[in-house]
Amino acid sequence: MNTKSTYDLLIEALQILSKVTSGYAALTDSSGMRIKTVDSLGQEIKDLKGIYYPLAKDAYDKHKAVYGMSQLEDGAETWCIPFGEYVLCCSNVERKRNVNILKQSLMDALPFIARVAGGEAVVFDESGKRLSTVSSDGSTNTEFLGKISKDANEAMKSQKPVIGESNYIGGASAVRIPMGKNFGFGFNNEDHVFKNQKLLNEVKKYQNAKYSFEDIIGSSPEIRRAKEIGMVAANSNSNVIIHGETGTGKEMFAQSIHNASERSGKPFVAINCAAIPQNLIESHFFGYTEGSFTGAKKGGAPGVFEQANGGTLFLDEISEMQLEIQSKILRVLQEREVTRIGSSKVIPLDVRVISASNKNLEDMVKKNAFRQDLYYRLNVLDIQLPSLRYMKEDIGYIVDHLIMKMNVAFGKFVMGIEEDALELLIKYEWPGNVRELINCIEKSFNLIGNDSYIKVDHLPMKLNEQVEIQDDDSGLENMLSTYEKTIIEKALKKNNYVKSKTAKYLKISTTTLWRRMKQLNIEMDIS
């Protein structure tokens, strides 16, 4: 039986070693010159034949196995063992190369990850040290490069994702994900936090209450009653709740009460409870001290109760406040004092709270969606603002007032509104209340040109369409047909009776337009 030579056995071993190690296996001669190198698939890499391998020469010279770094791939490990006149070598080149490719791909993808995540994206090494960091706008953030994140370090040690707060952006959430033992990547949602902060700066600020009761136009019994209670509230320090649909002027009433009270020279602070992110609401209500949480502003910051001290705090959309924060608000109102987060110092308060809601708080109390004790604390005086559809006799007065104001704003000289246009406004139901009426008159001023009076043509089309539907009692099918016919006729006129343009305007095919015109007896009368 023929016995294979050492050389043959070593050549055969190359394929097995390369496959097991997911790397390269090589055989060199005593001088360190490569005789054969194969990859993990057992394929010979002929370009490496005859290439000098210093580590193999070192192993032969020392007559012992040696360990070192590969000459082919940065970070790849290798070992060499002498066998007679030959040296057998093996490395994890391919595995390391794949890791390096993945690492580079992640670094190349950081701008896209940052953009999708809405924040900063980073790649870090085995210690959690930042290697690369990109903001959502694609810019490189060098401020924290080279710094070690304790959460990234924990993720690398545990080889498990770590989710928590960002170490650098207060209020932001961050994810750190290990991608093996050598590197990982992470991202945060700092854009969302910055956006929330900007929003908070808009919904929570010192405000000059500019409205007074003289600015509230109307003589209907409902509006007179609301103003009477408002004046009572102005002469009192009791808390007030203003109820009313969206657009009825709740903040205008709150400002009027403040300006008619003894607190008129003190702060009026308005905050929209529905607009504040839940993770920031407590710090913005009660304030915080420096270092009380990650990202806390140097020197701390006062909350809205402290900002409004001596004056009025207006809590709009109070119904949207979470139950947990309701209990803390109640305590502040009962004790008439507030303590900043992270502090033990008690700050005495002298604040009158005016709340507003477009929901029925009594129903919410019955459903345990609003604290009963807080409701009674806030609801000492109750003002119900009427919807515009229930005080239509005031629409003419309001329109005249708006025309005067908008003449100044637009630099026009509009004398008034024509009778049929006013009749259209009175018939309309106004789901958006006074706010919608203001918007309607403003649109009219943009369309009025040099006319001296607001006409029906200057008003939004939806007003006329709704009124026509209200006046039609011929049944649903006929009402819908009439409504459709009106829309098509107006669209034809708007597009100079060109069917193709009209169809495109209505977002239907020309065939569909022709068929509906025939069914609805619409004639092309362009006289």
pLDDT in tens, 25-55: 999 999 999 999 999 898 999 999 999 999 9
End of a domain among 329, 357, 381? 381
284 and 375 belong to one structural domain? yes
pLDDT at 259 over 80: yes
334 and 451 belong to one structural domain? no
Does 144 fall in a domain? Answer: yes
Distance CA 414, CA 451 (A): 7
User: Over the stretch 351-400, which tens digit does the pLDDT of each residue have?
Assistant: 999 999 999 999 999 999 999 999 999 999 999 999 998 888 899 999 99
366 and 409 belong to one structural domain? no
End of a domain among 339, 362, 381? 381
* Contact call for residues 356 and 250 (beta carbons, < 8 A): yes
446 and 501 belong to one structural domain? no
Strands ordered across the beta sheet of 183-188? 130-134, 121-125, 183-188, 173-178, 162-165
Does 126 fall in a domain? Answer: yes
343 and 449 belong to one structural domain? no
Least confident of 83-92, 132-141, 411-420, 472-481: 472-481
What pLDDT is recorded for position 525? 57
User: Over the stretch 169-219, which tens digit does the pLDDT of each residue have?
Assistant: 666 778 898 988 888 988 888 776 666 555 545 444 445 688 899 999 988
Does 199 fall in a domain? Answer: no
Does 527 fall in a domain? Answer: no
Does 1 fall in a domain? Answer: no
Number of domains the chain contains: 5
Note down the domain range covering 49. Answer: 6-91
Q: What mean pLDDT, rounded, does the chain reach?
A: 86
Q: Of 357, 147, 165, nearest to 245 (Cα)?
A: 357
218 and 304 belong to one structural domain? yes
216 and 346 belong to one structural domain? yes
What pLDDT is recorded for position 168? 61
Residue 340, both tokens: 């900043």
208 and 279 belong to one structural domain? yes
Does 212 fall in a domain? Answer: yes
230 and 370 belong to one structural domain? yes
Distance CA 178, CA 189 (A): 19
What pLDDT is recorded for position 197? 59
Residue 474, both tokens: 């011929």
* Beta-ladder partners of 28: 34, 87
CATH number at 432 reads 1.10.8.60
Least confident of 99-103, 144-148, 192-196, 454-458: 192-196
Give percent of the chain above pLDDT 90.
Answer: 42
CB proximity list for 294: less than 8 A, separation 6 or greater: 165, 166, 167, 170
What pLDDT is recorded for position 108? 86
For residue 472, name the pLDDT band (cuts at 50, 70, 90). Answer: low
462 and 497 belong to one structural domain? no
pLDDT at 289 over 90: no
* Beta-ladder partners of 165: 173
CB proximity list for 363: less than 8 A, separation 6 or greater: none
Distance CA 175, CA 193 (A): 15
CATH number at 241 reads 3.40.50.300
46 and 180 belong to one structural domain? no
End of a domain among 54, 76, 91? 91
- The residue among 254 and 523 whose pLDDT is bigger is 254
Does 526 fall in a domain? Answer: no
* Contact call for residues 417 and 453 (beta carbons, < 8 A): yes
What pLDDT is recorded for position 230? 94
107 and 131 belong to one structural domain? yes
HSE, CB side, 13 Å, CA atoms: give it for residue 63: 1
Query: φ and ψ at 238, to 5 degrees?
Result: -70, 155
CATH number at 31 reads 3.30.450.20
Does 359 fall in a domain? Answer: yes
What pLDDT is recorded for position 350? 94
Burial tier of 492 (Cβ tally within 10 Å: 0-12, 13-18, 19+): buried
* Contact call for residues 260 and 212 (beta carbons, < 8 A): yes
Find which of 171-175, 455-459, 510-514 is predicted with most confidence, using mean pLDDT: 455-459
